[in-house]
Amino acid sequence: MKIEIFGRTEQGCVRESNEDAFAVLHLDSPTRKLDPDGRPVAAGRAGTLVVVCDGMGVTGHGDQASKIACAQFVARVRTETPRLIAGRVSREEVLRVAVDEADKAISNAVERSPQLRGMGTTLTAALVGADGVHLMHVGDSRAYHFLDGRLKQLTEDHSVTGQLVAAGRLTPEQAREYPHRDQLLQALGRGVEIEAQAVRLELGRGECLMVCSDGLTRMMPEEEIAGVLDTYTSSVRACRSLTEGACARGARDNVTVCIVRRIE
């Protein structure tokens, strides 16, 4: 399976710093990372990993939480890659263990530096391989499947607004302006047991997987996002159009977008 993959982040128009963190890397190669031109590559035997984290914290250390989680998550997946290739562990197991490690890493950082107390982060990750896409998700960043001009949300929002939308008490449009939209029910670093959501997806030729922070979905409706993905077949151009489009609307939060398009 060949894929075209790209990721991009913007600070936005309001935040004083970027509290998002993301990573894109090919697990079969220790050196091959994100191609700045988004050229097609083989997904690889071990797969290609995409991670998006959106940090938060009442003490203003969300950027540290997202970086810690993203780095620890990637490190654990890297450690498990030989066992994954040998078939001794499944992709879902690797991702779930990595989420736990990322969660513990934030808690350990707070123990060492109490001034970091209260920080946390979302985490949405995708492992793309020949056998499909495996997702692991905590928080309100999102993963979407783009197929035949339509955008389908794959992950649940672990938030107050996410529950209200699921219950039919709010529309997605109303949720973007709801007063308690920032209240998460699950996040890494909270010191409570995490119930990460696992999703599996078959990605067909010409189809896209998009992983993004809520800085995008708060500023652009899904219909408009789908229009961008339909217009630009290049992952690079689509990422730039989406992040710059959110900023053009006055992006109140950091904006991160990663797009995986299957070529063949």
Domain ranges of the chain: 2-262
* Burial of 214: CB neighbours in 10 Å, binned 0-12, 13-18, 19+: buried
pLDDT of residue 181 exceeding 70:
no
Tokens of 192: 């409570």
pLDDT of residue 30: 65
Estimate the crossing angle of helix 91-112 against helix 62-85, to 10 degrees. 140
pLDDT-derived band at 194, boundaries 50, 70, 90: very high
pLDDT-derived band at 106, boundaries 50, 70, 90: very high
- Helix extents (H) in the chain: 62-85, 91-112, 160-166, 172-175, 214-217, 222-231, 235-248
Higher pLDDT, 41 or 196: 196
Give the mean pLDDT of the chain: 92
pLDDT of residue 105: 97
CATH no. for 2-262: 3.60.40.10
Q: What is the pLDDT of residues 7-51, one digit of tens each?
A: 999 999 999 899 999 999 999 876 666 677 777 888 888 999 999
Please give the average per-residue pLDDT across 62-88, as a whole number. 96
Work out the percent of the chain whose per-residue pLDDT is above 90.
78
SS3 53: strand
pLDDT of residue 31: 64
Please give the average per-residue pLDDT across 189-214, as a whole number. 95
In order of 27, 67, 69, 257, the CA distances from 50 in angstroms are 11, 14, 13, 10
What is d(CA 99, CA 92) in angstroms, rounded to the nearest whole number? Answer: 11
pLDDT of residue 84 exceeding 80:
yes
Q: Note whether 193 and 187 are within 8 A (CB).
A: no
- Torsion, Cα 264 87 142 200, to 10 degrees, reads 70
